[in-house]
Structure 1
Amino acid sequence: MKPIIHPADYYRRMLAAQPHALKRLDGSAAIVKLSRDQQVPEDDGTTGHWYYVIAGAARCSTIRADGRRQILDLMLVRDFFFVGNSQREEAIEAITEETVLAGYSAVRLEGLGERDREFARELREITFQSLERTRQQLVVLGGVTTADKVSAFLLLLEERYGDQRGDIRLPITRYDLAEYLAVSVETVCRAFSDLQQRGVIALIGIRTVRIVNRDALEHQIGRRYPNAGSDTIAA
Structure 2
Amino acid sequence: GGLTVASILEMDPKVLNTKIYSVGFRNNKTKYIKQAAQILHDDYNGDIPPTAGEMIRDLPGVGPKMAYIVENICWDRQSGIGVDTHMQRLFPKLGWVSPDTKNPEQTRKQLESWLPQDYWGEVNLLWVGFGQEVQQERQKVLRKALLCSRPLEALTLLRAVDFDLYSEWNKMQSADILASDEDKKDGIGWSNDDEMEKLNNMIEEVMSKK
Give the TM-score of the pair, scaled to structure 2. 0.30
Is the helix fraction higher in 1 or 2? 2
Larger radius of gyration: 2
Is the strand fraction higher in 1 or 2? 1
Give the TM-score of the pair, scaled to structure 1. 0.28
